[in-house]
Amino acid sequence: MDKRMVEFVRALRAAGVRISLAESQDAMYGVEIVGATNRDFFKNALKTTLVKECRDQATFDYFFPLFFGAGTPPLENIPDQLSPEEQQMLQQALQSLAGDLDALKDLLRQLLQGQPFSQEQLQQEGQRAGLPSMSDMSQRPWAERRMMRQLGMNELRQLIEELLQELEQMGMGQQALEEMRRMLEQNAEGLSEQISQYVGATLAEQMANQEPQPKPDLMDVPFTHLGEAEVEAIRDEIRRLAARLRSRAALRQKRAKTGTLDPRRMMRANMRYDGVPLELKFRTHHVKPCLVLICDLSTSMRYCAEFLLTLVYELQDQVARTNSFVFIDDLVDISMVFNEHEPREAIEQVLMENRPGYYNTDLGNSLNTFRENHMSTITSRTTVIILGDGRNNYNDPRIDIAQEIQRRARRLLWFNPEPPHQWGTGDSDMHRYAPVADGVFRVSNLRELANAVDRILTDG
């Protein structure tokens, strides 16, 4: 049992559940106390000690029956449930199916007698299906389908129908036929469950026996490769990331106060000492930036836009003022949403109210709306950040408006997840926007996004 529990823990780790050595020992102690005779107590002891996060409960429930399953599903010996006359009719019906393959007839007899697949059968068909070379649960459905096809489970359904039709022609009663169908389908379901259990347990054991693969740092995973679990982890990480960036910004500001001397302030402060510089005054360069964010919220950019908005609004104490806009085919002002809600709640509302749909990205039209309605948000102190891949679906990119924004603002920066060699390919207008901007930052993952935001905070 201890060996089985160790394999179970290793499989959970391979599936992404964080389990420490101390928690594994707690699981062993817990099972030692409650025992393994009561399945519910045993399962709850393991879940309580091994699972810390709500999202891992489904993973635990998925793997538990693969290591501590109920064994072979119960199957009925159908002839034992029939009268002698019905048994004779069944024997004659089986003989009349002589045209079918012998292997299928043997499988049908196995089904009628309620005999599960032997371990040798399962291992042989698993070898043929390539199961030993698999090591990922995503391959389980494919392996199950292949083994069922090899064992004849798909053709078995048709053979059952032929058998029931033969019995009906021989005069078996309708009630007996319905009962026969129920028992046959129940046994077929049991055999299918046995195959599924075997495939799942084999894959789980192979996952447990693999050396754990080092997982990439979430900060370096490209936004385009994120899974749902990784997105949730990043959402939790952003608050901690914002705290680190805030501390670094405060440290820079503190250093600036003890860095460059400010002659004017020093002379004015020391006039009472007849100009003798007894009090030193230092120049502070750190100025909080005024930001205008214009974010592409189309399908390919949603995660990047969500993380940028969350990060900026978590750092509002380091920003003088922020006006935010999102666009797909047209511009939407979302500043009030963030003024009225916490960043996470505001992001959820913005994403819900601005869903991607049949309409295509049109940055040119969005820039035109910005010029008509929101150009007053830009002053000579404003840093304008446009987040987008520059793909405009062959619409007019309105480079003239981008130039106007650049002239009016302190600087125009562009955050783009695509590398420069993709600019100008397909419907990309990025090669035309880039010369207009004061700088282009590549933001394909969270680390690059955080570094870009940090550099803006450095030079307000």
Cα distance between residue 334 and residue 297, in whole Å: 12
> In DSSP terms, which residues pair with 386 in a beta bridge?
294, 414
Instruction: Write down the H helix ranges in 270-360.
Output: 302-314, 335-340, 343-353
Residue 97 CA, chain-centre distance (Å), reads 51
Residue type, 342: E
Q: How far is CA 273 from CA 122, 262, 268, 325, in A?
A: 96, 17, 10, 54
Cα distance between residue 423 and residue 21, in whole Å: 48
**Contact at 8 Å (CB) between 370 and 331?**
yes
pLDDT string in tens for the chain (460-residue length): 677 788 788 888 777 788 888 888 888 888 888 877 787 888 888 888 888 888 788 888 888 877 777 555 566 666 666 667 666 666 666 666 545 456 566 777 777 777 777 888 788 888 887 888 887 777 788 888 888 888 777 777 777 777 777 777 777 777 777 877 787 777 778 878 878 888 888 888 887 777 666 666 788 888 888 877 788 888 888 888 888 887 776 666 554 455 677 788 888 888 888 888 878 877 665 567 889 999 999 888 989 999 999 989 988 888 888 999 999 989 999 999 998 988 889 999 999 998 887 668 899 999 999 999 999 999 999 999 999 999 988 999 999 999 999 999 999 999 999 999 999 998 899 999 999 999 999 999 999 999 998 888 776 5
> In DSSP terms, which residues pair with 441 in a beta bridge?
415
- 4-29 burial, b at 16+ Cβ within 10 Å, e below that, comes to ebebbbbbbbbbebebeeeebebbbe
Instruction: Write down the H helix ranges in 316-380.
Output: 335-340, 343-353, 363-373
**Contact at 8 Å (CB) between 340 and 313?**
no
Closest CA to 418 of 392, 451, 446, 440: 440
Q: pLDDT at position 372, please?
A: 94
- 418-428 burial, b at 16+ Cβ within 10 Å, e below that, comes to beeebbeeeeb
In this structure, the strands spanning 411-416 and 382-387 are parallel
Q: How far is CA 66 from CA 83, 177, 190, 252, in A?
A: 39, 35, 16, 54
Cα distance between residue 10 and residue 8, in whole Å: 5
Closest CA to 305 of 389, 192, 211: 389
Q: pLDDT at position 212, please?
A: 61
**Contact at 8 Å (CB) between 321 and 312?**
no
In this structure, the strands spanning 331-333 and 321-327 are antiparallel
